[in-house]
Amino acid sequence: MISADSLKLRRQRFAALFDSPVVLWSGRSLSRNFPANTFPFRASSHFLYFAGLPIENAAIRLEAGTLALFMDEASPASALWHGEMPSRAEVAAQIGADAAYPLERLKHFTEETATIAASDPVTRLEQSRLLNRMITPANAPQGMDLALSRAIVALRLIQDEAALNEIRAAIAVTIKAHKAGIAATMQAKTESQIRAAMESVILSHNMTCAYNSIVTVHGEVLHNEHYHHQVRSQDLVLADVGAETSSGWASDLTRTWSASGKCSPTQRAIYEVVLAAHDVAIAQIHPEIEYRDVHLLACCTLAEGLIDLGILKGHPADLVEMDAHTLFFPHGIGHLLGLDVHDMEDLGDLAGYEAGRSRSSRFGLGYLRLDRPLREGMVVTIEPGFYQVPAILNDPERRENYRDVVNWDRLAEFSDVLQP
């Protein structure tokens, strides 16, 4: 949990960046299929950053470094189902609030206030009603809300020590989960059994998954969320699983391993190429380097490795310039990490892209989620990969465009590498 002192320091730093009052809502849980059966509640990350606790159906008002909490006391009837809940005064003390009021009082504190649109529609309607104006989506803010979003990005881009400690804790548990998944693979009959072994580690540490787990023998499907396939000894298992702390801080880790514990020569060869791209990218990380340059370096390293294996033909830089590497690596090298696994991506590209920059129209490069110089305190992921996606490799136009630089017969010899 983030201490009250750390939360107060965040509010003071924010006050130096934005001098108008702000109201941030935590949001509400959504009904799964009837009112009493809801999806697990996840508070707005912007609310969590300043409040520190996932308080449902609450709001905070920030002004001049102070925080006022607005939440209702739990009803006596709720104790029957949920047990005794902390009082408003107890919650206020825990987060270092300067004042605390019933939620109904919020309507008296909303004049000329900025906000960020909530993700759930019920709360977003409440925002528009109380602020007496239309609230545009978080990824398209306007006016004072746009200025607020920019100020929050400037603050949250650099993680303070409290945040770094939370992220480290999430990563430590995630590493344990991946080791458990590897250990479970030899006896697993299906992907779901490996997933269960990994997620049980996360749950046993009182954490949740930061995103829907990907545990699959079909790694050619980038976001594969099906777990029913049988695990065969010749398969490679791709696991993209990350823990989230109770305070909402995320981790993100992807690993690939052999189901039998021993890779084939072709599997090992591709693994080494991806590992080289991974390692060279991490080695180049330092303040002021352009993240885009880190991405392109990884792409060149991947292309060079595929040339050495006889899959690609030509010079690495030329192949990357013509996007030939995107046949096998069609996404960006990574993204910001923090309270969201893709941190602040609800704000569109405000966080990911330096002011004045926009997404490329090129295939592959257009999926780069971060394009700005790195600064000390930023947390980013490095996630190169090699995928044989049938929809890409079998596309007639791409096969024609790259017929002179791809040895398709040689590629066929690697059919056991993340292939359906």
Assign 3-class secondary structure to 311-347: CECCCHHHHHHCCHHHHCCCCCCCCECCCCCCCCHHH
Instruction: Decide: pTM greater than 0.85.
Output: yes
Architecture, CATH, for domain 4-156: 3-Layer(aba) Sandwich (3.40)
Tokens of 201: 């580690």
- Of the candidates 349, 366, 380, the one whose C-alpha atom is nearest the C-alpha of residue 141 is 349
Q: What is the pLDDT of residue 420?
A: 35
Quote the tokens at residue 6: 């750390």
Is 338 in contact with 249 (CB distance < 8 Å)? Answer: yes
Residue pair 115/23 in contact by the 8 Å Cβ criterion: yes
At residue 214, φ and ψ (nearest 5 deg) are -115, 110
263-420 maps to CATH 1.10.3720.10: no
Cα 59 from Cα 100, distance rounded (Å): 10
Per-domain boundaries in the chain: 4-156, 159-260, 263-420
Amino acid 231: pLDDT: 97
CA distance 312 to 198: 36
Closest CA to 23 of 95, 105, 88: 105
Q: Which CATH class is domain 159-260?
A: alpha beta
Number of H helices, E strands in the chain: 14, 11
Intrachain domains 159-260 and 263-420 with the same fold: yes
The pLDDT of residue 39 is 92
Give the C-alpha separation, 40 to 54, whole Å.
11
pLDDT of residue 128: 96
pLDDT (tens, 9 = 90+) of the chain, 420 residues, equals: 899 999 999 999 999 999 999 999 999 999 999 988 999 999 999 999 999 999 999 999 999 999 999 999 998 888 888 888 999 999 999 999 999 999 999 999 999 999 999 999 999 999 999 999 999 999 999 999 999 999 999 999 999 999 999 999 999 999 999 999 999 999 999 999 999 999 999 999 999 999 999 999 998 888 888 999 999 999 999 999 999 999 999 999 999 999 999 999 999 999 999 999 999 999 999 999 999 999 999 999 999 999 999 999 999 999 999 999 999 999 999 999 999 999 999 999 999 999 999 999 999 999 999 999 999 999 999 999 999 999 999 999 999 999 999 999 999 999 999 643
User: What pLDDT, on the 0 to 100 scale, is given for residue 79?
Assistant: 80
In whole angstroms, give the CA distance from residue 300 to residue 302.
5
> Contact, 306 vs 312, CB < 8 A?
yes
Phi, psi of 54 (to 5 degrees): -80, 75
Cα Rg of the chain, angstroms: 24
398 with 364: CB under 8 angstroms?
no
Contact of 368 with 360, CB cutoff 8 Å: yes
pLDDT at residue 418, rounded to an integer:
66
d(CA 118, CA 121): 7
